Amino acid sequence: MFFASDNGSGVAPAILAAMTRANDGYARGYGADDAMVRVRDEIRRLFEAPDAAVYLVATGTAANALAIATYCPPWGAVFCHTTAHIAEDECGAPEFFSGGAKLILVDGPHGKIDPEAMALALEKTGSGGVHGVQRGMLSITTVTETGTVYTPAEITALTTLARAQNLPCHLDGARFANALVVCGATPAEMTWKAGIDVVSFGGTKNGCMGVEAVIIFDPAKAWEFELRRKRAGHLFSKHRYLSAQMEGYLADGLWLQLARNANLMGARLATGLAQIDHVSLVHPVHANMLFPEWAIGTHARAEAAGAVYYPFPAPKGRERARLVASWSTTEADVDALLAVLRG
Ligand SMILES: Cc1ncc(COP(=O)(O)O)c(C=O)c1O
């Protein structure tokens, strides 16, 4: 009953096998390995973006912070949701790597930026001349931090506002595969066709050991990103192990298969929770992350039974939790937790 995070699951066997194969013999370092050529080609094919620059890093924070630094000047504002991972959970890395860009938090229901609030934030920013930060870029996340997924049309609505001001747009796709299989779009439709310039394409939370791709659709930005990655200490010398993970992840649609299982287990959990009287869901469940609210005493019962998850702040007299299913969550895991919650 491990539902604390999808990074609590292990490495998918096929990915581990790809790493073991990569362990044979020798390979050039620093991203010059043959597997990286194949990974780049495969990502370009999947995203229908033959000129895209593709780089690997080992953490989502590095992917986001370096992508943002490449696109936002130090005096720029990054518009993002109030709950965005870049705002709440990256210890100021985007601000640090960009040399001081300011995050401007824009609200909206269930983790998605509200276009009207975004238009207002754009209007209010940069109008004071030299004294204020200037409009810099947009950063959105899908799957969002509250477990919802933007449709390509919703992404386009936000990027259209940003692009009207000549602002580039970043997508934090730490759970890109989980979002993609929900909205039924192609990778291109969810990104550059919807106005996205740069993507953090997650692998770690969906069965890899630790690898994320940064996909930059304008190759003119590639060299700057390379320099920033090196300077940040994120150019791996034994890079072949990053490449091998990503190659194994993408082979034969494994990335989509793993995400489908995580989402399916999320849906099973949601269906079961809906049948328990004292439980309600704080946000709609689109993918593999759930935010239930339930009666006082449930945490103690679940903890005693061995369930692992994060409690969340709740209104008086209630308890809230975040539950995350992963590629390796089984029906038995879900059913065991539901049985405990039923009491
Ligand atoms: C939406 C989102 N973006 C980025 C990250 C950052 O990943 P990492 O912990 O690998 O730096 C996370 C991790 O929780 C995340 O949930």
User: What are the tens digits of pLDDT across the range 268-302?
Assistant: 999 999 999 999 999 999 999 999 999 999 999 99
- Gap between the Cα atoms of 25 and 139, Å rounded: 41
Q: Ligand 1, atom 13: nearest CA belongs to which residue?
A: 60
Q: Is 319 in the pocket of ligand 1 (CB under 6 A)?
A: no
Q: Ligand 1, atom 4: nearest CA belongs to which residue?
A: 60
The atom of ligand 1 lying closest to the CA of 64 is 4
Q: Ligand 1, atom 8: nearest CA belongs to which residue?
A: 60
What's the CA-to-centroid distance between 59 and ligand 1, angstroms?
Answer: 7
Q: Is 144 in the pocket of ligand 1 (CB under 6 A)?
A: no
- The predicted model scores a pTM of 0.97
Q: Ligand 1, atom 5: nearest CA belongs to which residue?
A: 60
Level-2 CATH architecture, domain 13-252: 3-Layer(aba) Sandwich (3.40)
Residue found by looking up tokens 């238009």 in the block: 119
The atom of ligand 1 lying closest to the CA of 145 is 1
Q: Which of 269, 274, 259, 263 is nearest to 334 (CA)?
A: 269
3-state SS class at 252: helix
What's the CA-to-centroid distance between 61 and ligand 1, angstroms?
Answer: 6
Domain boundaries along the sequence of the chain = 13-252, 255-342
Q: Is 288 in the pocket of ligand 1 (CB under 6 A)?
A: no
What's the CA-to-centroid distance between 130 and ligand 1, angstroms?
Answer: 34
Instruction: Give, for all 343 residues of the chain, the pLDDT tens digit.
Output: 999 999 999 999 999 999 999 999 999 999 999 999 999 999 999 999 999 999 999 999 999 999 999 999 999 999 999 999 999 999 999 999 999 999 999 999 999 999 999 999 999 999 889 999 999 999 999 999 999 999 999 999 999 999 999 999 999 999 999 999 999 899 999 999 999 999 999 999 999 999 999 999 999 999 999 999 999 999 999 999 999 999 999 999 999 999 999 999 999 999 999 999 999 999 999 999 999 999 999 999 999 999 999 999 999 999 999 999 999 999 999 999 999 999 8
Would you state the pLDDT for residue 127? 82
Q: Which residues of 143-154 are buried (b: 16+ CB within 10 A; e: fewer)?
A: bbbbbbbbbbeb
Would you state the pLDDT for residue 204? 98
Q: Is 61 in the pocket of ligand 1 (CB under 6 A)?
A: yes
The 8 Å CB, 24+ separation contacts for 230-238 are 232/62, 232/65, 232/66, 232/97, 234/57, 234/58, 234/59, 234/62, 234/66, 235/30, 235/31, 236/29, 236/30, 236/31, 236/56, 236/58, 237/29, 237/30, 238/29
Q: Is 85 in the pocket of ligand 1 (CB under 6 A)?
A: yes
What homologous superfamily does CATH list for 255-342? Aspartate Aminotransferase, domain 1 (3.90.1150.10)
Q: Residue 171 in contact with residue 142, Cβ under 8 Å?
A: yes
